[in-house]
Structure 1
Amino acid sequence: MSTVILIMGEPGQGKTTSMRNLNPETTVYFDCDKKGLPWRGWRKQYSKEKENYFATSNAAAIAQEMKRIHEEKPQIKTIVVDTLNWIMIDDEFKRMKEKGYDKWLDLAYSVKALISLAKQLRDDITVLFTAHTQTEHDDSGYSFTRMKTSGKKLDKTSVESMFNTVLLAKCVDGRYLFETQARNSTARSPMGAFETFEIDNDIVEVIKVLEEF
């Protein structure tokens, strides 16, 4: 069974930048936002010609390529899906003229099915999903941050519950960090894996810790 990690956060908080130290020779990147990667020289590392970069938000296409990696590409150790939100938006736009509850059931199923498939890949693969967040406030001033979803069906199922590791990306005083445990959020990680609630946002170091855990 593969390792799956969710990295969530608001735009500009370091979700994508945390992938900067991944080895492009052993990584496949699904750029669902189709905006490119935020570090210098990324085009020399990732491209369609190298077969390690795909600008798509089509869940079926991503699932098909995941299966191909699992079966035919033993050199690939890391898969990035950035972001889950654009996969949801893609599905919404395709079915925007449809009415009724069924389309929201289908949307929830496609997201859950993609995450479930990711869990069934080879043991030596790590799948990194990213997602945007939303923060809710009540009248008492309490706030809570969770993954932003499309449709109440996904809200009820709680996408984060499908992951053992959910990291909250944030920038504090110019330092980009991951929150590893819940502090008014759905962040979580295996007990004892990380010594502190906040760590540097280098996903390579996170993967190393989880591999040794």
Structure 2
Amino acid sequence: MSIATLILGQSGTGKTTSLRNLDPAHTLLIQAVKKPLPFRSEGWGWFHKENKPHGNVFVSDNADQIIKMMKGTRRDVIVLDDFQYILANEFMRRVLDKETGNAAFAKYNEIAHNAWSILMAASQLPDHKRVYILGHTQEDENGRVKAKTIGKLLDEKITLEGLLTIVLRTTVINGQYLFTTKNNGLDTVKSPMGLFEADQIDNDLAAVDAAIFSYYGLQETV
């Protein structure tokens, strides 16, 4: 059973930047929307598949393709960026299709199923694999901060955080970009007891990965 972790935060608060210290040789990055990385990448081991035969950056928002890539990669660390756009892109395409009646309502079931399928697959890879799912946040009418989806009809069908054991959230304090590791009573942050000593840690996904690797006693692959 692989370890899947959700990293939540508003745009510009350090989600994608947290990849900066991951080893590209051991990391697969799947982008829902193609965009440049916010740190030195080309020439530093990050290459789009379309440019390099053995590239480690793929662009897809199709659930079946994403699951196939996760299952097929030899790399131990997988990052999905940004999960919200996997949902939103499909929703917007189907809005343009002008679905009506039952078809319009059914799309929420289908989008929810695709989201669920990706999260299930992320937790069902070989034991040594780690999957990091980056996503935006939204605040509900009660002031509770959660993963952003595409509305209440989808939220009624699936609670993304409920499918995972580790949920971190970005925060920026005095210009320092951090992850919070403990729930504040109004968000969905959670982590296993003893995984992180501090309530706030550097937004360094390599350090998070090392902590998870040690905590669960994972074994290196050859």
Instruction: Give TM-score, length-normalised by structure 2.
Output: 0.87
Aligned to 2:174: 173
More deviation in 104-113 or 25-34? 25-34
Aligned to 2:137: 133
Identity level (%): 35
Taking the aligned partners of 1:201 and 1:145, their CA distance within structure 2 comes to 19
Q: 1:13 Cα shift? A: 0.4
Aligned to 2:31: 31
Cα deviation code 1:28-87 (max 9, x no counterpart): 1111121121002x0222221133111222222111111212xxx2xx110110011110
Taking the aligned partners of 1:83 and 1:162, their CA distance within structure 2 comes to 17
More deviation in 178-187 or 146-155? 146-155
Structure 1 runs of 4+ with >3 Å offset: none
Aligned to 1:163: 164
Unaligned runs of 5+ in 1: none
**1:58–1:90 contact (8 Å) kept in structure 2:** no
- For the pair 1:61 / 2:65, whether they are aligned, the reply is yes
Taking the aligned partners of 1:177 and 1:154, their CA distance within structure 2 comes to 29
Aligned to 2:219: none
Matched residue SS, 1:160: helix
Q: 1:135 Cα shift? A: 2.1
- The number of residues matched between the two structures is 203
Aligned to 1:90: 89
Matched residue SS, 1:170: strand
Q: 1:194 Cα shift? A: 1.1
Unaligned runs of 5+ in 2: 216-222
Taking the aligned partners of 1:6 and 1:205, their CA distance within structure 2 comes to 15
Aligned to 2:115: 111
**1:108–1:153 contact (8 Å) kept in structure 2:** no
**2:63–2:117 contact (8 Å) kept in structure 1:** no
Letter in structure 1 aligned against 2:199: F
Q: 1:171 Cα shift? A: 1.0
Q: 1:19 Cα shift? A: 0.8
Aligned to 1:8: 8
Matched residue SS, 1:134: strand
- Root mean square deviation, CA, Å: 1.3
Letter in structure 1 aligned against 2:76: K
Aligned to 2:79: 80
Structure 1 residues 197 and 137 mapped into 2: Cα distance closer, same or farther (>3 Å)? Answer: farther
